[in-house]
Amino acid sequence: MGYQYSLQMAEFLTSDDGAEWLETSSQFVASPSSHLAEVEYLRKHLSPAKSAAILEQVTLRAKAKRRFPNAEKMLFTDSGLQQATHPAVAAYRARRYTGCEFVADIGCGIGSDTIALSRVTGFVSAVDRDPVRLFFARHNVSATIAGSNACFIGADARQPPFAIAGAVVFCDPSRRTRSGERIYQPQAYEPSLPAVRAVYARAGGLGIKVSPGISFDQIPWADEVELISYAGIVREAVLWVKALATPGVQRRATVLPAGNSVTDAERVTGCPVRRPGRFIYEPDGAVIRAGLVQQVCEALEMWQLDHRIAYLSSDSWRSSAFVQGFEIEECLPFSLKRIRRRLQELGVGVLEIKKRGVNLDPDAFRRRLRLNGQEEKTLILTRIGDRPVAFLCQRKRTGSPLGLPVNADVF
């Protein structure tokens, strides 16, 4: 759950004294062996509460460096950092608001989306009912953008402090409990998704960040649903309503950092189903979640191995941000003993296991293989029709040599 900052402690962190202690503490080595000494050093000069606040902030800044280039200047809460939009995703999403004179950022958290929106719009009104998150958001925006065009208002999302009619709004409801557990039901968001829809029904344009696992049946009123992945991980879904939605598009999958999108506006006639070719491909998770596998399949001139399973294939190499590809080296019987023996013969010690359509735990399966070699391979376990199959593959990288032909006798 992390340290719970009070507004008074947040103000201390931004004071000259607090900033100096943050700078000093940033030099601490974050390791169990040094932690006690660091705590003792701080407590000689600060109260226990201030010591805890400084140590928590140093820890959070170290975590945030993986996402935020200016993390050493920013302030975080544990829950705020967990829920904050990745800057690359926030920047991409903010493009829909480019040129808007006024945008309301509802549930601004620690300000990640406010920063992105401030760079492309005339003015941003950042709203959050938590005074500490709002304080940190104000600090983070001013620390990141010179001459910020944002204001910060403490208010409940259900009682917005601006005229809703015609407004352009971005809303990020909280999807975690006070203890930090994830919330999966939109009715339990804070504010709930039905409440957001009702309150902002008269907005001219509305974007709502939701969990990527949301059931589409629960949001028939969304004009466009966009699934966004970054670095191979599906990060979020966004519901676009009215002016912010793309005419003629109901589903969109966007892959970052490449920035490529595929939509259901690209009509398909249906992808063929054939035996595996030389290469097998797994569509990006955003493509799968958005239900756009056939659009990618047809655009890349591939085919499916089974119409129920999201694995594609081709005889010649296709390079695309929408898929990750593997060159099939062997097709093996779906047998633990046979797979183990073959991997040991090849000296495989590092094995990536991917599976679709088969019920097994990849980690448990890997342990039972008892690998101890040096070679790296990928094992794809899936089903074609009613038959489970195993493909021993090499993850394909640009410039990598071609491997062995597929043994078609297995099929």
Please tell me the predicted confidence (pLDDT) of residue 30.
55
To the nearest 10°, report the CA torsion of 8, 11, 15, 20.
80
Q: List CB contacts of 345: < 8 A, sequence separation 6 or more.
A: none
- Strand 124-128 relative to strand 150-154: parallel, antiparallel, unpaired? parallel
Q: How far apart are the first and last CA of the chain?
A: 52
Q: What is the pTM of this model?
A: 0.91
- pLDDT tens digit string along 271-291? 999 999 999 999 999 999 999
For 81-262, CATH gives 3.40.50.150
Q: Which of 41, 78, 82 has its CA nearest to residue 58?
A: 78
Note whether 224 and 252 are within 8 A (CB): yes
Q: Which two tokens stand for residue 84?
A: 């904050």
Q: Which of 86, 124, 95 has its CA nearest to residue 108?
A: 124
Q: Which of 255, 333, 331 has its CA nearest to residue 296?
A: 255
Please tell me the predicted confidence (pLDDT) of residue 399.
37
- pLDDT tens digit string along 320-346? 999 999 999 999 999 999 999 999 999
Report domain extents, the chain. Answer: 7-64, 81-262, 279-410
Q: List CB contacts of 22: < 8 A, sequence separation 6 or more.
A: 13, 54, 57, 58
Cα separations in angstroms, 278 against 146, 314, 315, 389, 396? 53, 6, 5, 15, 11
Name the one residue in this structure whose structure tokens are 């023996």.
341
Name the one residue in this structure whose structure tokens are 């200047």.
73
To the nearest 10°, report the CA torsion of 238, 239, 244, 250.
110
Please tell me the predicted confidence (pLDDT) of residue 166.
94
Cα separations in angstroms, 20 against 35, 184, 238? 19, 41, 40
Question: Which segments of the chain have a pLDDT < 50?
Answer: 398-411
Cα separations in angstroms, 106 against 174, 183, 242, 391? 11, 18, 17, 48
